[in-house]
Amino acid sequence: MTETALSFSILLLLLVIVMTLDKITRTEYIENSSELHHAYYSQFVTPQTIAFVNSQIGLKKLKASDDPHLNDVARWEQGGKTWLWDRSPINTTLAKELGEGSSMSTHTCVGKAAARIILEEAS
C-alpha cells in the first residue's frame, strides 16, 4: 500500500471512529482507564495528528519500536523538558467538551493513539 493510500485509509478510519463511537467523557474514562485508554484518546485524534505523527516519526520507526508505549520513537526536546509527543495536534474543542484538558500528557496520549491507529491500518 502506498503512503498516500495508507494516509487516505487512515483518514477514512478516523471519520468512522468519530461518527460511530459514543463519546467517552473524562469521568467515564477515569472510572475504567485501563480498558478505555486507547478509545478515549483516539477520539481526540485529527487528520492533523495523523499527518504530524507520519511526518515527524513515520511508519518505519513506529514498526521498529521495541517499546509497547512507543517511548523509543520520539526524541526529547528543550534539554529533556519536553518531547516530540507533546506537540501532537489534538481536537481541543472535543477535549474540552468531554472534560479533558490540553496538557502535554494529553497531547502525548493523543499522539500515541494516532501512532497506534497508523500501525493498525498498516498491518
User: What is the rounded CA–CA span in Å between residue 46 and residue 1?
Assistant: 22
Bridge-based pairing of strands 82-83 and 76-77 is: antiparallel
When divided into structural domains, the chain yields a total of 1
pLDDT digits (tens, 9 = 90+) for 78-109: 777 778 999 999 999 999 999 999 999 999 99
Partners of 70 in the β-ladder: none
Residue 65 lies in domain: 3-122
pLDDT digits (tens, 9 = 90+) for 29-57: 999 999 999 999 999 999 999 999 999 99
State the virtual CA torsion across 107, 113, 116, 120 in degrees, nearest 10: -140
Whole-model pTM above 0.95? no
